[in-house]
Structure 1
């Protein structure tokens, strides 16, 4: 075995495109000169300049250095995507900056344009760290824009990590952004139905339009229509019965809660089983929300309080750092009113 080759991925995780000189000037690796010493903007450690036929010029920490400011690491994909995004943005707006440390916040976004901070995420990230960075941007008046690299982009399923990058708006619904070397993509009107995920997708080829035009795009496309019918109720009951027979943990927790109220998961009011546009957020816990809606005579604040208490006792946390839970609860409330009325005419 070639030991050197085996350790290359570990040695090269701490990469960056910019570094400081001794005089605190920020220099692009492309413009670095031989014999000059360069330092990490995050930890201040001495850096090594690297370049080759397969790598764009960049700075890197030595194998023994641990930089907490760069704890997620930077892959070659990450470096290339940042460079592509920067060049694309510079075509129409010279205000784009790469890896600029923020004076009012101990964070260094991948790209910055005035108060817009862009983060290109190509590798896994701890939930606590992500929440901290998103909160930091928000509290200091920055608009953050997260784009997921190839490995993190949605496919047929949404992982817990992918959900944490999602946003919500009236025109796009639940949405998340992706980026590749030749495009920026938007996955929007994301919803979960029958344990499957559905979404629409829009693509902008690289260098096709100004970057900020993409971010500020308003969509006129309506979300997919959800069918409320007796057939959909029967189908949902069959799925729940199957999950109960398999003693699926999440469903068993719901059944345990209902059992303490002398109820059964499969014998609730019919309308409670209607599909929801917001199951992406709560999955089977939606049944509890609708049951509380039915029990509490539509008292919204009481319903929200009891539902959040139930979620807390079940140790189910709100993981959507970029979405206000209150807004989704209010939409669930309005949806419950509609579903209950719809059931009366079926």
Structure 2
């Protein structure tokens, strides 16, 4: 801010003038040269969290976002939001926030920032930097930025350099234990926005279930702790995990909200609950599953979980295992558990030939 309490960006600031941080009121330094992106910086040891040291990637990236956003109306770089004490990288038309995340960010802090923006009725889009792009595709540190649009399904946005471009991984879904997605890159935000506005979803080819059955048996062999725990649950009901009914794997394509073990776990738990108590309440199931998930950018996580649960419930109804009355599933018959993995693989081969 100027001495007259007017906001100003580093590109327009004049050298030799005094400028102050809108958060702590301390004097800040104007940094603008031939190689560095224009920005303001605190003097050392000010203790203010606004204006913490930034990498060249982050400085260049948010400036690029600001330039790209100007064609859509008013775009403000690092506009300080007094009500929530947050400063988004770019604020567009006072309703859209663009954040360029290059450094690690804890889930707690991420949730706080999202909640702050929502309290002001601001929608936020988060773009990830190069380090996130190179990480393991299924890393929780990457997937926590998962967002959703009906046109592209579950997606992640990246902003990469050399050359500067937008990259989107879209239609992210989990097929058994593998993460599947499509990827496109765009040189401008306008082309990206046009892409997001039109349906891009395709019907994927589903590979053989035998691959997942083999993976499951390998996890048992190597004593994966989560798999062993699930195996013990099945033992208590006199079943083998590797012999779980085929319906536990349907539908095969699922949102990437958790691991393959999580998906298998709650489906098996539903079947065991039906077998023991002869009923399952879908509302309770949705609430229990929602408590296990944290995806701040999904506006209505409960709705996403409800869709997931309904899909499985519909499979159970079609198979004649249950009948549904409102939010309650009532047991009709037990689904067939196989004696071992070999018997199950034979059933898979027979089913795939049909």
- 8 Å contact 1:236–1:273 — kept in the other structure? no
Partners of 1:279 and 1:29 in 2: how far apart? 42
Corresponding position of 2:296: 321
Is the partner of 1:26 in helix, strand or coil? Answer: coil
Q: Is the 8 A contact 1:190 1:199 kept in 2?
A: yes
2:300 is equivalent to residue 300 of structure 1:
no
Aligned to 1:253, the other structure's residue is in SS state: helix
| More moved, 289-298 vs 320-329 | 289-298
* 1:112 aligns to 2:87 (yes or no): no
Structure 1 partner of 2:78: 99
Looking at structure 2, the residues matched to 143 and 306 of structure 1 have their Cα atoms a distance apart, in angstroms, of: 27
Distance 2:73 2:6 in 1: 19
Distance in 1 (CA, whole Å) between partners of 2:312 and 2:134 is 29
SS at match of 1:281: coil
Question: Tell me, which stretches of 5 or more residues in structure 2 are unaligned?
Answer: 320-334, 337-349
2:6 to 15, 25, 32: 25
Corresponding position: 1:185 with 2:167: yes
Is the 8 Å Cα contact of residues 250 and 312 (structure 2) preserved in structure 1?
no
For the pair 1:65 / 2:46, whether they are aligned, the reply is: yes
Number of residues of Structure 1 aligned to a counterpart in Structure 2: 312
Residue of structure 2 equivalent to 1:43: 24
Q: CA deviation at 1:58?
A: 1.9
> Would the aligned equivalents of 2:76 and 2:90 in 1 still touch at CA under 8 Å?
yes
8 Å contact from structure 2 (residues 172, 255) kept in 1: no
Q: Structure 1 pair 286/210, CA: closer, same or farther in 2 (3 Å)?
A: closer
CA deviations 1:131-173 (Å, max 9, x no partner) are 0111111222111111112222366523212111111233222
**Residues 293, 299 of structure 1: 8 Å contact kept:** no
Deviations along 1:103-144, one digit per CA (max 9) or x if unpaired, are 443211111112111111111111111001111112221111
Helix, strand or coil for the counterpart of 1:151? helix
* Aligned-partner Cα distance in 2 for 1:249–1:46: 55
CA contact (8 A) 1:156 1:197 kept: no
Q: Within 1, Cα distance between the matches of 2:103 and 2:287?
A: 36
User: Which of structures 1 and 2 has the bigger CA Rg?
Assistant: 2
Query: Residue 11 of structure 1 corresponds to which residue in structure 2?
Result: none
Per the TM alignment, residue 287 of structure 1 is displaced from its structure 2 partner at its CA by: 1.7
Q: Is 1:172–2:145 an aligned residue pair?
A: no
What's the offset of the Cα at 1:214?
A: 4.6
Residue 246 of structure 2 is aligned with which of 249, 254, 270? 270
Residue 15 of structure 2 aligns with which residue?
Answer: 34
Q: In structure 1, what is the equivalent of residue 33 of structure 2? A: 52
Task: Please say if 1:242 is aligned against 2:224.
Answer: no
Alpha-carbon distance, 1:329 to partner? 2.3
| CA pair 215-125 structure 1, distance change in 2 beyond 3 A | farther
TM-score (norm 2): 0.77
Q: Which runs of 5+ in 1 are unaligned?
A: 1-19
Paired residue for 2:231, among 255, 269, 276? 255
How well do the aligned residues superpose, as a CA RMSD in angstroms? 2.9
Measured after TM superposition, the shift of residue 267 of structure 1 is 2.3
Q: CA deviation at 1:188?
A: 0.7
CA distance in 2, matches of 1:325, 1:29: 39
